[in-house]
Structure 1
Amino acid sequence: MKIELLAPTSAALPTLVVAAGERASVRFLEFFASAIRNPHTRRAYARAAGDFLAWCAGAGASSITAVQPLHVASWVELQTQTHSAPTVKQRLAAIRHLFDWLVTGQIVPHNPAASVRGPSHTTNKGKTPVLDATEARQLLDSIDVSTPIGLRDRALIALMVFSFARIGAALAMRGEDVYVQQRRLWVRLREKGGKTHAMPCHHTLEAYLHAYLEGTGIADDPRGPLFRTVARGTGQLSDTPLPQANAYAMVRRRAFVAGIGTKIGNHTFRATGITAYLKNGGTLENAAAMANHASTRTTQLYDRRRDEISLDEVERILV
């Protein structure tokens, strides 16, 4: 489904929305333009709404006002056959929020998704692959820092390990977000929901950031992006921010060169840093504050200390 926020047309809208009239069409688009600020959430919700309404049209619904709880329940049941439980719950949440918005806008009389339950799902450990401290050090030491690219890659990976930064927050940083305070280097991260989070640097991260800023000249451009792409054919950094997909490709390439078999991603380093911190006597409450988590329950998903216990116990099976 395509959402045109500046110039909405009937071609950009699901047929069930168009069938409900102009007021419904405007209110539908306003949901994505006004009610959802995060672009990733907006895209995910737009896909879910588009898929659901297309399915409803195929099931015989004539308009968005004709959608009933049975439609939602049937669609959710089909989703469980092809998607994981967390994905289905997210897609159901998108439909609930959309219809809440339509109810308050007096487009539909009730929310057909309000009474529909999603699949049950509980977890006490995340699925993100994690490196142990030795592997993380192996990866950092394997990076050739004789080039601007190497200095950038080492600094970015170290930032995520030692500050627990999300990749999105790391790539949104500008040069001025690395600054001196109380005679220590600090980093400023812009997290989800527009929250700003500042942390002092670990001495290793401090050394890597100094080397990166001074070795590439980025220190002279405080308003420019901190992590940048490479200008084609030059081997030098450009003025363009490094996209998240490029960061992922870099991480995978660096892991391969370092001989690390674990299929890691950008989020690996956040979980790696949190686990290393907790293994060395850190508290869950402080880890949550450093990771800018609203609840320690979220931080616990990144705690992989039990993985080592499990491996040790497995080796006790002597046959």
Structure 2
Amino acid sequence: MTTAEGVQAPVQDELQTTAPGRLMGEYLQHMLVERGLSANTLAAYRRDLLRYQRFLAAQDAHLIEGVTRQLVSAFAQGLATGADGQAPLSPRSAARTVVAVRGFHRFLALEGTTATDPAEDVHPPVAGQRLPKAISVDEVTRILEAVDTSTPAGLRDRALLEFLYSTGARISEAVGLDVDDVSVDEVLEGPAVVRLFGKGSKERLVPLGSYAARAMDAYLVRSRPSLAATATAKNSTPALFLNLRGGRLSRQSAWSILKTAAERAHVSGEVSPHTLRHSFATHLLQGGADVRVVQELLGHASVTTTQVYTLVTADTLREVYAAAHPRAL
């Protein structure tokens, strides 16, 4: 787990240049220690607040007490167009940035650092809804079967991709797993249940399908021991998925594994680890799964986040209807 000490130094190095920046460093430290944010979420907040710090400096707002609602609103309105003097952001990125700024000012007000919260009534721009991209069951199957399992690395790759599609795990959750998070006995006997640790270190249990369980069994018995043997005593790790040096597999390497398999399977378009997660959810709903069950499996805090997948399946229903019904068109 990322420690407070491990994050504090780089945050303060870049934010200590101004008084507001130092307070932003304190806020990020609070979010790490008290809220348990993941390293990825914390890094995103840090980028957003650095942008806000540069904006305040450009406006000669050197003291946080001098920040007004009008100033925060001007910053928020300029994110999408670059009117804040920096590169334009997409609607979603702009919305996330405003959320980070609102959280920062709310923190200062609750701590008594400032008497008021100038960002309280500033709202993020409405982001357009973007449907998640899913691929067909046939395309998923082709990708999984395109992996060459004649080598230890190939057995690992097949187990990883089967795992991602079987559980709907985020790539960070998969590469963050340790061997103890998957019971070998359960994998052999089935059906296995895997512990996943999502955003904010929230734990959830997800079943592991039979195809993934067999691939995991082959990896654990025939591949992982040889990969682990390449590690030095210093680099020894309990990680479930190992790289060729016996260390924990990185997210970048996992992405490359999927990209290579997709190319071999001649699956066109952008295919990422998140594509398998989207496909997992979409195929479950198409098969009749309840949206709240899918919500639990994905680890979404709100069912509203999961309901976007129902729009995907509705589009599929319309396409099938238009193609099959004699009086649809």
TM-score tier after normalising by the smaller chain length: 0.7 to 0.9
Structure 1 residue runs of 5 or longer lacking an equivalent are 19-24, 232-237
State the secondary structure of the residue aligned to 2:256: helix
Which residue of structure 2 lines up, in the alignment, with residue 33 of structure 1? 29
Describe the shift of the 1:277–1:9 C-alpha distance in structure 2 as closer, same or farther (beyond 3 A): closer
Does residue 98 of structure 1 match 2:94? no
Confirm or deny: 8 A CA contact 2:152 2:224 kept in the other structure. Answer: no
**Corresponding residue number in structure 1 for 2:54:** 54
CA contact (8 A) 1:188 1:196 kept: yes
**TM-score of the aligned structures, taking structure 1 as reference length:** 0.84
For 2:304 and 2:52, the matched residues in 1 are separated by 32
Alpha-carbon distance in structure 2 between the residues aligned to 1:266 and 1:47: 24
Partner of 1:83: 89
| Alpha-carbon distance change, 284 to 187 in structure 1, aligned in 2, over 3 angstroms | same
Q: 2:316 is matched with which residue?
A: 308
Whether the 8 Å contact between 2:15 and 2:24 is mirrored in structure 1 is: no
Q: Is the CA contact 1:274–1:287 (under 8 Å) kept in the aligned structure 2?
A: yes
The one-letter amino acid of 1:153's match is: D
Correspondence 1:254 to 2:254: no
Distance, in Å, in 1 between the alignment partners of 2:92 and 2:224 is 44
Partner of 2:242: 228
Q: Report the more deviating stretch, 134-143 or 66-75.
A: 66-75
How many residues align? The count is: 301
CA distance in 2, matches of 1:130, 1:281: 17
Superposition pairs of residues 66-145 of structure 1, within 5 angstroms = 66-81=66-81, 82-121=88-127, 123=129, 126-127=131-132, 129-145=133-149
Deviation at 1:292, TM superposition (A): 2.7
Q: Name structure 2 gaps, 5 residues minimum.
A: 1-5, 82-87, 229-235
Could you say if the C-alpha distance between residues 28 and 119 of structure 1 is closer, same or farther in structure 2, counting changes exceeding 3 Å? closer
Distance in 2 between residues matched to 1:198 and 1:113, nearest whole Å: 38
Matches of 1:299 and 1:10 in 2, distance apart?
38
Q: Shift in Å at residue 211 of structure 1? A: 0.9
- How big is each residue's C-alpha offset from its partner over 1:213-243, in whole Å with a ceiling of 9 and x where there is no partner? 1111449979711111123xxxxxx1x1111
With over 3 angstroms needed to count, the CA separation of the structure-2 counterparts of 1:160 and 1:150, relative to structure 1, is same
In the alignment, which residue of structure 2 is the partner of 1:211? 218
Q: 1:147-166: per-residue Cα shift (whole Å, max 9, x none)? A: 11111111111111111111
Match of 2:179 in 1: 175
Once residues 169 and 10 of structure 2 are traced to their aligned partners in structure 1, the CA distance between those partners, rounded to angstroms, is 37
Residue 134 of structure 2 aligns to a residue whose secondary structure is coil
**Structure 1 residues 7, 307: closer, same or farther in 2, change over 3 A?**
closer
The alpha-carbon deviation at position 52 of structure 1 amounts to 1.2
Q: Give the TM-score of the pair, scaled to structure 2.
A: 0.81
Q: 1:189 aligned to 2:193?
A: no
